[in-house]
Structure 1
Amino acid sequence: MPDSPSDERADDAYGAPYDLAVIGAGCAGLTGAVTASELGLSVALLDTSGQVGGQFYRTPAPALGAVRPEALHHDWSAFADLRRRLEASAVVHLAGHHVWTVARGSEGDTEWVVHAVTGVDGCGERPVRVRARTVLLATGASERQLPFPGWTLPGVVGAGGAQAMLKSGLVLPGRRVVVAGSGPLLLAVASSLAAAGARVPAVVEASGYLGYARRPGALAANPHKLAEALVHGAALLRHGVRLRTRSAVTRVHGTARVEAVTVSRVDRDWRPVQGTGRRIACDALAVGHGLVPQTELATSLGCATRRTPDGTYALELDGLQETSVPGLWAAGETGGIGGAQLARTEGAIAGTAAAARVLGQPALTRSRRVRELRRRRDRMRAFADTMAAAHVPGPGWVQWLNDATDVCRCEEVTAGAIREAVADYGARDARTVKLLTRAGMGWCQGRMCGAAVACLAAGPGAASVPPSPERRPLAVPVPLGVLGALDPDEADGPVS
C-alpha cells in the first residue's frame, strides 16, 4: 500500500466533503475508518506518520530490510487484518498530514473543517483543508514524565520512546538499559529490549502490583491481560531481569551521557526512603510514568472531560463513543488509557455509530455485533481503570528533585525557579507559573513538563496531575506562515 495515497489522487482528496474524517491512524482510528467505509461511508484517514499503525504498531522503514517485523509486536495478526481491510476499502489515507485544529464550517454549515499541514510532523508546511460531515478523534496519548536530577542527560529516553526506537528503527537506546517508572508498559518494554539483545539489569516500578487485587472482578473478566503479564514475566525471568517494586530512579549519573542510576526505595506516597539508594551501572535509562490522553483537539471544541483514576484527563464519552459535542466521536486513548485491543473495540463502535448517524439508520447501533462490542468495551475499560488506579503517582515524588533539577527542558526552567514563583510570588497554578517562569512555553507546549509544573505549583501533598484541559485554538505547534496563508473565505481545497 502506498505511504501517501493522497499524493496519487492529487488535490481531489480535498474537494468534496467526506462522510467521516478520522484523525489518527493507530489501532482505534484505523478500525473506525475501515468499519465506517465497509458500511458505506466515504472516509478520509489523516495521520502525521507516513505509515498506519500509530505508536503501537510501528514498523521499520523498508530500507532497513527487516525480515520479521512482526516479531517485535504483540497481536500482529489483528493489525495485519486491519491493513488488509484498509487496502480493500475506499478509505482515502492522507499520510503525512499534521492536524492542528478542527472547526465548524461557515455560519449555518453543519460540516467540520479539518486543518492540517502536509509532510511528516508538519515539515512540508503546505496547509490543506479536509471537510467532513462527522469526525472521529483517535489521537492517542503521550508519555507522562516526572523529572529527577540528571534526566536531561543523553541516554535517558521515554519508555515508549525506547520501544519506538526498536520497532521503527531497529536500534537500542543502549547496551545496558535500566527500565523505570510506573505502569504495565515497563514490562513490555523490558522484555522487548532484552529479546533484542540489550542487557536489562532491572525494571524499577514505583508502585506495586497489589492494587490489582482490589478489583478481582475486573481481573476475572479480562483473563487475556493476566496472560500478557505472564508472558512478559516469563521473558524477564528467562533473561535474568530483576523486578524491583516500590522503588524509583532518583538520580542519573554521568557527564557526556548516562553512566549509572541511583535506585531508591520509596514509600506508598513515593517519598524516597533515606539510606536505601543503590547505584546501578548502565548506559541508558528508559523511563515513563504512564500515559496521558491527547485531548487538545477535542477540548478546543468544548468537549467535556473527566478525571481518570491516575489523575489525568480523558474525554467524556457516551455508550457509542460520541463526545459531548454532537457529530464528534472519539476512540482509543483519548477516552482513557486502555491498550490496543480496547482501542480497536472502541474504534469499531465509533465507526458504526458515525455510519448510523450519516446514513440515518439507527438500527445499526442496536445490532448483536454492536451489543457484544459494547460489553467487551465495558469489560476492558473496567480493567483499564483498575490499572490506572494501581499506578497513580504518589505526591512524594517531588522530593526526588533538588532546586537545580531542570523541570521544563525547552525553556531550562528549574525546580528552584518554580518553587520561588510559588513561595515568593504567590503562584498557585500551572498557568501562573508559566507566566512567571516560561515553564511550558517551549516547543512541546508543556507535554513533557505539564504534570510536574502543575504538581509543584499546587504545593506539598498535591497529586501528580496535569493542568486541567485548556481550550487552545491550536492543538499543536504550527508555522506562522501557515496561519498567514489561510483565506477565511476559502471553503475547500488546499490553501495556497
Structure 2
Amino acid sequence: MTTSESEPYDLAVLGAGSAGLAGAVTASELGLSVALLDASAHTGGQFYRHPAPAMGAVRPEALHHDWSAYADLRGRLAQSDVSHLPGHHVWSVTQDDEATGMWAVHAVTGADGGEERPVRVRARAVLLATGAYERQLPFPGWTLPGVVAAGGAQAMLKSGLVLPGRRIVVAGSGPLLLAVASSLAAAGATVPAVVEASGYLRYTRHPRALVTNPHKAVEALVHGAALLRHRVPVRLRSAVTEVHGTDRVEAVTVTRLDRDWRPVRGAGRRIVCDALAVGHGLVPQIELATALGCATRSLPDGTRALALDGLQETSVRGLWAAGETGGVGGAGLARTEGELAGIAVAARVLGRPAHGGRVGELQRRRDRMRTFAAAMAAAHAPGPGWSRWLADDTEVCRCEEVTAGRVREAIEDLGARDARTVKLFTRAGMGWCQGRMCGPAVACLAARGEDAEPPPERRPFAVPVPLAALAALDDPVVPRHDV
C-alpha cells in the first residue's frame, strides 16, 4: 500500500452509523475515494452498538432490531476501498479553498486512553452523519447514581452486556422507551413500569403517516408483545417527577400529567426500584454544520435539524447530511438518506446528473419515512408545563452545579430573557457537555416555557479538544490510501 499526501479523498464521511455506512459504501462502489471517520472503535453507531469481539458474545444480533441490514453494510464496507478511520474525534470542519471547494476535517485520535494527536483529512466533499444525542429534562433526584439515559441503558446492554440495575423503571417520552424496556426485560431485568409522558393516540392525528409506514406499526406490536410477555405495565400521560435515595436510587415518584405536562396534584405514586432509565427523545447533533453557517429548520418537538435539499445537500455547497442530522427518524430512514447522499456526491464529483430510477425510489421512500418522523416528533413533543417538576434546589446544569433556583433568580431578579444571558449570569451550559444536557431546560426556563430548545449556536469546537491539537494544526494530514 502506498500513500500520497497531495491527493485528497473525494468524500469524507463523518459517522459510521447507519447513514454514514450507507453513504460511504455507496459512494465507494460508484468509484469515489472515501474516508469514513468515527469516534468509536467499531462501526454501527448508537443503534447498532455491539460488544467488542474480546467479550466473546455468541449472538450479539439478538439485542438488535433489523441486524441483517447492518450486517449487509458491514460486509460491503469490508469489501470496499473505503478508508475506515476509527477512534477519530472530529472537532471541526473547515473549507480550505472556496475556489476549489476543498474541505479539511480536523480530528483528534487517541482520546480514549492513548496519546492524543491531531489529524487532518482533506476531501472534495463532506457527508455529515453524526447522529443525535438524548434530550434530558431534569427533575429532583436525577443526579443520583442509578439514573441513566434510556439510550445509555441500552448501550450498556448492547456493548457491555451489563444492566444498570435489577429493577429498572423506564421513563420519559418517545418510542425508544418501548425498545429499551423490552430489551432490558429480555435480558433478565425486572421492569416495574414504562412511564410515557405523552399518549400514543396522538399518532391518529396523522393517518397518512401511519398508512404509508406499516412497518412502524409492526415494530410497535413486536415491542408491545414483548412487554406483555414480561408483564411490564405502560403508564401513559405520566412522568417520574422525583427520585428517592441516599447513595443510589431506591424508588421513584410517578405522577399523572395534564395535557401540558403539568403534574396533577395528589396523583403521585411511589415505585420501588434500583435504577431509572430516562429520556425525552433525541436532539440532532448538528454543531459541525451550524459552525459553517448551514441553515436549520424547526421540528415539531422543538428541536432543530439541518435544512436539506432533495438530494441531502445542506445550504452550504459541497456539504451533505444524512440520518438524524436532518431530523430523528430511525435506522431505516438513515440508511435511505445515506445511500441517496452517496449517489448525489458521486454525481457531483464525477460530473454526472443525479437522477434516475434509483434516485427517485430513494426520494419517495425518504419522504414517506420523513412524514412518519414528523408525526412521531409531534406526538412526543414535551409540554410547556414540565418545568413545574423542578424545585429550586434541583440541579439543572450538572457540569457547573447550577440549580433551577439560580436560573430563576437570573431571570426574575437580573433580567435574563434568553438562554445565552442566563449562561453569562450562572455558567449554566459552560461545562464539559457544552449545554447538551441542560440546554433545553435552561431555554425553557428563560423563555418562561415558550420555547423548548435554544437556537443553534456557531461554535468553533464541536467537542472538547486539547490545546496541543490546536498548536499542531499544520500536521499531520491523513493521506489517501491507494491500494
Q: Deviations over 1:217-239 (max 9, x none)?
A: 11000000000000000000000
Query: Is the Cα–Cα contact under 8 Å of residues 296 and 475 in structure 1 kept in the other structure?
Result: yes
Query: Which residue pairs with 2:105 in the alignment?
Result: 114
Match of 1:270 among 251, 261, 275: 261
Query: Is the Cα–Cα contact under 8 Å of residues 119 and 476 in structure 2 kept in the other structure?
Result: no
CA separation in 1, counterparts of 2:113 and 2:236?
40
The answer as to 2:295 corresponding to 1:307 is no
- C-alpha deviation, 1:123, in angstroms: 5.7
Match of 1:389 among 357, 378, 389: 378
The answer as to 2:400 corresponding to 1:411 is yes
Q: Deviations over 1:407-434 (max 9, x none)?
A: 0000000000000000000001111111
Match of 1:144 among 127, 135, 143: 135
- C-alpha deviation, 1:15, in angstroms: 5.4
CA separation in 1, counterparts of 2:49 and 2:174?
20
CA separation in 1, counterparts of 2:433 and 2:302?
21
Query: Is the Cα–Cα contact under 8 Å of residues 15 and 492 in structure 1 kept in the other structure?
Result: no
Match for 2:383: what amino acid? G
- C-alpha change, 1:120 and 1:52, in structure 2 (3 Å) is farther
Query: Which residue pairs with 1:444 in the alignment?
Result: 433
Query: Which residue pairs with 1:427 in the alignment?
Result: 416
Match of 1:97 among 75, 81, 88: 88
Query: Is the Cα–Cα contact under 8 Å of residues 299 and 470 in structure 1 kept in the other structure?
Result: yes
- C-alpha deviation, 1:125, in angstroms: 1.7
Q: Deviations over 1:394-451 (max 9, x none)?
A: 0100000000000000000000000000000000111111111000011000011011
Query: Which residue pairs with 2:183 in the alignment?
Result: 192
The answer as to 2:44 corresponding to 1:53 is yes
Unaligned runs of 5+ in 2: none
Query: Is the Cα–Cα contact under 8 Å of residues 284 and 327 in structure 2 kept in the other structure?
Result: yes
CA separation in 1, counterparts of 2:99 and 2:164?
52
Q: Deviations over 1:164-198 (max 9, x none)?
A: 00000000010000000000000000000000000
Match of 1:161 among 152, 161, 167: 152
Query: Which residue pairs with 2:458 in the alignment?
Result: 471
Query: Which residue pairs with 1:329 in the alignment?
Result: 320
The answer as to 2:342 corresponding to 1:351 is yes
Match for 1:462: what amino acid? E
Match for 1:142: what amino acid? Y
- C-alpha deviation, 1:14, in angstroms: 6.0
- C-alpha deviation, 1:484, in angstroms: 1.7
- C-alpha change, 1:194 and 1:15, in structure 2 (3 Å) is farther
- C-alpha deviation, 1:110, in angstroms: 2.1
- C-alpha deviation, 1:122, in angstroms: 8.5
CA separation in 2, counterparts of 1:19 and 1:204?
47
CA separation in 1, counterparts of 2:279 and 2:437?
11
CA separation in 2, counterparts of 1:371 and 1:122?
45
Q: Deviations over 1:219-264 (max 9, x none)?
A: 0000000000000000000000000000000000000000000000
Q: TM-score, normalised by structure 2?
A: 0.97
CA separation in 2, counterparts of 1:122 and 1:184?
35
Query: Is the Cα–Cα contact under 8 Å of residues 18 and 132 in structure 1 kept in the other structure?
Result: yes
Query: Is the Cα–Cα contact under 8 Å of residues 153 and 254 in structure 1 kept in the other structure?
Result: yes
Query: Is the Cα–Cα contact under 8 Å of residues 13 and 92 in structure 1 kept in the other structure?
Result: no
- C-alpha deviation, 1:481, in angstroms: 1.7
Match of 1:24 among 5, 15, 19: 15
Deviates more, 1:61-70 or 1:241-250: 61-70
Query: Which residue pairs with 1:482 in the alignment?
Result: 469
CA separation in 2, counterparts of 1:380 and 1:277?
37
Matched position secondary structure for 2:106: strand
CA separation in 2, counterparts of 1:149 and 1:273?
17
The answer as to 2:387 corresponding to 1:380 is no
Query: Which residue pairs with 1:177 in the alignment?
Result: 168
Q: Deviations over 1:364-386 (max 9, x none)?
A: x2111111111000000000000
**Identity, % of aligned positions:** 77
Q: Deviations over 1:468-492 (max 9, x none)?
A: 00111111111112112223xx694
Query: Is the Cα–Cα contact under 8 Å of residues 392 and 405 in structure 2 kept in the other structure?
Result: yes
Q: Deviations over 1:32-86 (max 9, x none)?
A: 0000000000000000000000000011012211100000000000000001100
- C-alpha change, 1:491 and 1:179, in structure 2 (3 Å) is closer
Query: Is the Cα–Cα contact under 8 Å of residues 118 and 476 in structure 2 kept in the other structure?
Result: no
Aligned residues: 479
Matched position secondary structure for 2:185: helix
CA separation in 1, counterparts of 2:112 and 2:20?
18
CA separation in 2, counterparts of 1:386 and 1:159?
21
Unaligned runs of 5+ in 1: 1-8
- C-alpha change, 1:197 and 1:14, in structure 2 (3 Å) is farther
Match of 1:201 among 179, 187, 192: 192
CA separation in 1, counterparts of 2:424 and 2:207?
46
The two structures, once aligned, show a CA RMSD in angstroms of: 1.4
